[in-house]
Amino acid sequence: MRFRSLAEMGVLSLWATMGVAYAAPRFTVGNVPSYYQGSFGTASHISIFYDASYLQFRNRSWRLKLMVPYLSVSGLPRGAQLTGGGVARRTGTTQTRSASGLGDIWLSAHYTVYQGSGLLPAVVPYTKVKFGTASVTNGLGTGRNDYEVGMGLDEIIGTRIFPFAHLGYRFVGNPVGGNLRNIWTYDVGSSFIATSRNIFTAMFSGSGSEQPGYAGPADVILAWNYNVTRAGSGFQLYADKGLSNGSANYGVGLGAQVVF
C-alpha cells in the first residue's frame, strides 16, 4: 500500500475539473489525514496515521506540488522501516514499536506537453523527489532520497468522464544493508462528474516491491469530492482496499482544500 499516493488521491478528481475549466494560474492549500491498517507483508498488525499537508500551483501546462506529512505508526516490527509509502527492511522479529514525527517530504512536477484533442489523451510527463526527512532511528524512513520519473495520459470523454493512467519508475534510495531495489509504479482509473459539486473517482494503484522476496502493493481506491466553490475548494473522502500481501487491509481518508 502506497499511503503517500493516497494522500494525493483527493486531488485527482480536482484536476479533472480544474484542468479543463481554468487556464489561469491557481494555488491550492490542502490537508488530507488518513488511516491504514494491515500487515504489509510482516507478521505484525501495523496501524499508520498519515496526515499530509500540501501546497500546489498549477496553470494550463504546469502542476507543482510540495507535500509535508506527519506520520504516526504502531505495531511496526523493530528493525523495519517505512519508505516511499510502504514498509521495507522487513524483519522476522515479533517485537514491535510505536513512533511519530515528520514523514518524508515530497516534491513533484507535472508538465503537459500535449493538451489532448478528440480521442487523443493529454500527455503529461512528471518527476517526483522524496526527501529522506523521516526519522531513521524510529523507523519512519530510510533517510535516503527517492527519485521518480514517469508519464501520465489523461483523457476526456464527453463532459463528465475523465479516464487517466500513469506509469513511473522510481530510483529507490538504498541505506547501508538495506538491499532495496528500484521499482515500477502505476495507476489507472477514471473520475466522473455526477453534478457540478459531486465528483467520484475509482482507481487501481500498485507498484513493485522495494524489498526482494515480498509482494508489491496493489490497491483499489474509491473517492468522493464535494466542491463547495466553483474554483474547486471543498472536501474529499476516500476508501482503500488492499489486494495483495504488501498492501494495507484497508485505509480511509478525509481531507479538504482551498483553491485561490
Q: How far is C-alpha 83 from the chain's CA centre?
A: 13
- pLDDT confidence bin for 13, thresholds 50/70/90: very low
Split into its structural domains, the chain has a count of 1
Range of the domain at 133: 3-259
Largest Cα–Cα separation, the chain? 56
pLDDT mean across residues, the chain: 87
Q: Do residues 51 and 57 lie in contact, with contact meaning Cβ atoms separated by under 8 Å? A: no
pLDDT tens digit sequence for 21-31: 455 788 999 99
Reply yes or no on whether the pLDDT at 92 is more than 70. Answer: no
What per-residue confidence (pLDDT) applies to 82? 87
Per-residue pLDDT, averaged over 216-244, amounts to: 92
What is the CATH number for 81? 2.40.160.40
